[in-house]
Amino acid sequence: MKKIVKIISVLSFFAFIGLSLAVLVGFVDVSALMGGSTLAIAAGAGTTIEGEAATTTEVKEASPELLDNSIRKNITKMKPSATPLDTIIRNVGLVVPVKSWETEWYAVDSRGIADTVKTEFTASGGTSAVWTTHALIVTNIHIWSIDDNVLIPGINGNDSKPLVLHVVGKVASTNTLTVVAVNGTGTNDSDIPKLVVPTALTRIGNAKSELDAQTSPYAVFPQKSSNYCQVHMAQVEESLYDRLHEKEVNWDITDYRAESIYDMKRSMELTSLFGAKLKLYDSVGEDWKYLSGGITRYITKGLTYESGSLNKAQYLAWNKLIFDGNSGSDVRILFAGSTLLAELLACETVYRQVEGSNVEVMFGIKFNKIETNFGTLLVKHHKLFNDCGWTTKGLVLDIANLEKHIFKPLQTKSLELQKTGIKNANAFVLDEAFCLATRYPDTHATIALA
């Protein structure tokens, strides 16, 4: 007869922790380990088990949260480099509990300050009258308002200082700004020199008149996004006779569990990256299923490169687009397919830092750290990209702007197949229902061949 006794014991507490981790990590058969001897286990002011060998069932009864918490910790340690996104999210990602299959969030980007010339501006005549207006076609018309000032780094006016323009009109449909020169060129300081594509433009502030009491409103309207939480499940069984049968190699449910958990983790990784969001009706099973959308389907910023032509200039241009003009972190992660990684290593700027063993290890994952004045990229070859047609592609992520929305936390439970007479086997099930959410989409990017 099992007796439950309340005790407080530091030594027993550590014995309990050690045994529980052994059950989980080593998947130890506790009954066999103890040889059937009497065992007492205590968790602080929790419960003890006396009079019989401890099993996973007893451990869960004594502390129902312990095994699940341990699994959540140890699943991140299983081949962490093979599933880096899942590993990182479980360690540092923001976790948001949700209470429905569909989760919604608002994605918003801060107002940009960087732009480029979209269509070449031909130099004005050089004799324009004072306050002559000029039409300038830009790439990101939405960031501009009337009365803004435009700084053009690298292009000087008559004062040998960077050229500044003032916006007096805007036509969104044609991406056109009407501007006057502040320190322009020409005889009246009112002309603008030739501006090729893609000359950089910077929004530096607005200038109002004395009588102005209002300004053009600028509102960043957040866009609602949503995703479905998908149920991921793994089950392992080992028949009683398979466990008893002599084997040439010691391969048992311990190994089955390890392989099953890894396969589950790998499928979670691929879903989080490439899954398609859908509420699907299974006409065979006659029930509904919720499929998560992968983060690659929510990222709108795309970078391109030509095969064999990736050089320092283009790599720095990437970094400018990745880090500038958004509210992201100074350090971001780049998952690269094998072909893209080879292209990067062929770039002298990148190779010099990689060759110098500029390495950072996080959560068992080794990253090559590549630093520029814009920010730092932690580069990791993602081996699963090769299985998904992404050998030439890459994915830049700002982990601080990723969230894991969890409908049902990762849990494990034993199936009483023998007791219920279903089959003569040991079995356990792991399941978790979650999805990923991307906030501030402009802080993430994809990379692909042009």
The string of pLDDT tens digits covering residues 300-311 is 888 988 888 888
Q: What is the pLDDT of residues 14-51, one digit of tens each?
A: 344 343 434 333 433 333 333 333 333 333 334 333 43
* Arithmetic mean of pLDDT, 67-74: 47
Q: Count the Cβ atoms, other than its own, within 10 Å of residue 210.
A: 4
Q: What is the pLDDT of residues 343-388, one digit of tens each?
A: 998 888 787 777 656 788 887 888 988 888 889 999 999 999 988 8
Q: Which backbone phi and psi does 154 adopt, to 5 degrees?
A: 90, -10
Separation between Cα atoms, residue 443 and residue 327, nearest integer Å: 7
* Arithmetic mean of pLDDT, 116-131: 91
420 pLDDT higher than 90: no
* Residues ≥6 apart with Cβ < 8 Å to 46: 6, 62, 63
* Arithmetic mean of pLDDT, 166-194: 93
Question: Which pair of tokens denotes residue 12?
Answer: 């027993």
* Arithmetic mean of pLDDT, 179-207: 91
Question: Dihedral angle at the C-alpha atoms of 120, 126, 130, 134, nearest 10 degrees?
Answer: -10
pLDDT of residue 110: 57
267 pLDDT higher than 70: yes
Angle, CA of 365, 369 and 374, to the nearest 5°: 135
Contact 3, 50 (CB under 8 A): yes
Separation between Cα atoms, residue 52 and residue 34, nearest integer Å: 10
Contact 181, 126 (CB under 8 A): no
Type of residue numbered 136 = L
